[in-house]
Amino acid sequence: MENKKEVLLSLKNAKTYFPIKKGVMKKTVGYVKAVDDVTIDIYKGETLGLVGESGCGKTTLGKSILQLINSTGGEMLYNFGGNIGVKNLKKLTSAEMKLARKRLQIVFQDPQSSLNPAFTIFGSLEDPLKQNGVAKREDRRKIIGDLLEQVNMRSEYMDRYPNEFSGGQRQRIGIARALSVEPELIICDEAVSALDVSIQAQVLNLLKELKEKKNLTYIFITHDLSVVEYISDRIAVMYLGKIVEIADAEALYENTLHPYTKALLSAIPVADLDKKSKRIVLEGDVPSPAKPPSGCTFHPRCKNCMDRCKTDIPALKKYMVDGKEHFVACHLMEEQQQATPLSEQS
């Protein structure tokens, strides 16, 4: 992958703001800047981990990519290949949108909420197939049976109801459903966070296996730093709607550069055998994304805060660390190292 990196999705200054409305007239009095100027390339075949504290905009970014939420600005360029080529996901024709709905899928934390309790698994999984032209019921049964086997479940389970399964099994059904339309990019939003540690490992291994078999690309959203280290090729760290650090998974843990990432890593709960999945808790509260601090939004919580951090927004810049690309948005790094701004990179 190192030598031949093909960009699948390129986010350029992506922004998603939610208006804050007040009063009887519902006047817009401000915006929650849930995703604020995110620029990142996602390569074909990689697993990009996306981490950060609760409320930093991970889910909003995922849903904005899938066009489940209207974004406010920027571009989301997706490489469809073939004669369609690269298209902005925000400006697709309805035929292209139909294709995008197949190519991009999401797996949520709680599959219970996305599986209708009144339907059997077959009933829940057959809709996307119908929409994609699998007209015969027996063909749909065959495909769904095969899908269940691919996620290590028995094909006859398709006639059971969601409440007859454990959390881990339901999550595997959620994955089977995402796979049913033969996607390229799957956004896993806290896909294993609700599971017990041993079941988490099974589902993570299944995701890894399926990725190899089906040439998938994952954006893996989680607040669990041990999970993200295990599954990711690269990791992007988000803080208050912005990406503050991106590096290969190993490099991020070995050469952590951003003070926020350092704080996150030092907050990993140690040897807690009883843990399901812990929220990251750092000192000081996360400021409101409706009123983000000036300059570097992390400055009120940063031990290394300098004067310019209070006024200037640091850009995400590339550094070479041990011969590897490492992106950081931090004034301290700029003063210590030679950086190349993203805009000047080829």
Ligand X SMILES: Nc1ncnc2c1ncn2[C@@H]1O[C@H](COP(=O)(O)OP(=O)(O)OP(=O)(O)O)[C@@H](O)[C@H]1O
Site for ligand X, rule CB under 6 A: 18, 32, 34, 52, 54-60, 223, 289
Q: Which one of Mg ion, ligand X, none is in contact with 230 (Cβ closer than 5 to 8 A by kind)?
A: none
- Residue 136 burial (CB < 10 Å; 0-12/13-18/19+)? exposed
User: Contact, 333 vs 257, CB < 8 A?
Assistant: yes
Shortest distance in whole angstroms from residue 95 CB to Mg ion: 31
From residue 79, give the alpha-carbon distance in Å to each of 2, 7, 98, 117, 219.
19, 7, 15, 36, 16
Q: Which is nearer to ligand X, 47 or 59 (CB)?
A: 59
Q: Which one of Mg ion, ligand X, none is in contact with 54 (Cβ closer than 5 to 8 A by kind)?
A: ligand X
Shortest distance in whole angstroms from residue 21 CB to Mg ion: 23
Q: Which one of ligand X, Mg ion, none is in contact with 56 (Cβ closer than 5 to 8 A by kind)?
A: ligand X
- Which residues make up the interface to Mg ion (CB under 5 A)? 59
Q: Which is nearer to ligand X, 52 or 121 (CB)?
A: 52
Shortest distance in whole angstroms from residue 107 CB to Mg ion: 13
Q: Which is nearer to ligand X, 59 or 124 (CB)?
A: 59
Residue 87's SS3 state is strand
User: Contact, 311 vs 331, CB < 8 A?
Assistant: no
Residue 270 DSSP label: P
Shortest distance in whole angstroms from residue 238 CB to ligand X: 7
Q: Which one of ligand X, Mg ion, none is in contact with 200 (Cβ closer than 5 to 8 A by kind)?
A: none
Q: Which one of Mg ion, ligand X, none is in contact with 11 (Cβ closer than 5 to 8 A by kind)?
A: none
Q: Which one of Mg ion, ligand X, none is in contact with 60 (Cβ closer than 5 to 8 A by kind)?
A: ligand X
CB hemisphere CA count around 73 (13 angstroms): 10
User: Contact, 259 vs 294, CB < 8 A?
Assistant: no
- Residue 258 burial (CB < 10 Å; 0-12/13-18/19+)? buried
Q: Which is nearer to ligand X, 129 or 227 (CB)?
A: 227
Q: Among residues 302, 245, 296, 316, which one has the least CA distance to residue 52?
A: 245
Q: Which is nearer to Mg ion, 125 or 238 (CB)?
A: 238
Q: Which one of ligand X, Mg ion, none is in contact with 55 (Cβ closer than 5 to 8 A by kind)?
A: ligand X
d(CA 69, CA 186): 17
Shortest distance in whole angstroms from residue 52 CB to ligand X: 6
Strands (E), the chain: 7-22, 27-43, 47-51, 73-79, 86-88, 104-107, 185-189, 217-221, 234-239, 242-248, 317-321, 324-328, 340-341
Shortest distance in whole angstroms from residue 287 CB to ligand X: 10
d(CA 99, CA 244): 32
Shortest distance in whole angstroms from residue 85 CB to Mg ion: 32
Residue with the shortest CB distance to Mg ion: 59
Shortest distance in whole angstroms from residue 84 CB to ligand X: 29
Q: Which one of Mg ion, ligand X, none is in contact with 223 (Cβ closer than 5 to 8 A by kind)?
A: ligand X
Distance separating the N- and C-terminal Cα atoms of the chain: 18
